[in-house]
Amino acid sequence: MSLLLFNSIEMTNKSNLYKNILSDIENILDFSVPTFTNLGNISALLKTHFNWFWVGFYKVEGDYLILNAFQGPVACVKIMKGKGVCGKSWEENKSIVVKNVDLFEGHIACNQAAKSEIVIPIRNKKGEIVYILDVDQDYINAFDEIDKKNLSLINNLIVDII
């Protein structure tokens, strides 16, 4: 099988997995419980399905991102706006895919085992960033545009609970 065909099949499988996961997220959301509870379940679902190293949410509070619901090893609890990948995503109002965290200027190493990262801003109905979705993997080149596109769709599912 050619590498091009293999990559095409791999991308289709990943897209299909995301389609199923997004449906699962939609089904587990419970609007009668605190946001933290729903974000915890979303973190668990994503970590379980993808076997990622770390998945979690940081909540915007003043000039800081404060650790919220997550799955994985102990994490940084407070990140200043503009610092690290999460703080830079918040400051620049955009998603960031980092193929190799060692090459990202200003990367905050909450855990030395993390090697790649993707960060997605989560916005409320006014378009304001209120959370940052942060995902780490323990090998380089773990994330791509398919991840960026599909993880961004989570915002559409949870905007009504934040």
Question: Mean pLDDT: which of 8-17, 60-69, 150-159 is highest?
Answer: 60-69
pLDDT of residue 46 exceeding 90, the answer is yes
Q: Report yes or no: 143 and 118 within 8 Å, Cβ to Cβ.
A: yes
The side-by-side arrangement of strands in the sheet containing 96-98 is: 78-80, 64-71, 54-61, 129-137, 116-123, 96-98
Domain hosting residue 41, numbered range = 3-161
pLDDT digits (tens, 9 = 90+) for 50-82: 999 999 999 999 999 999 999 999 999 999 999
Residue whose C-alpha is closest to residue 116's, from 89, 134, 98: 98
136: which 2 tokens?
A: 């780490």
Residue 19: give its domain's CATH number: 3.30.450.40
Question: How many domains does one find in the chain?
Answer: 1
pLDDT tens digit sequence for 85-136? 999 999 999 999 999 998 988 677 777 789 999 999 999 999 999 999 999 9
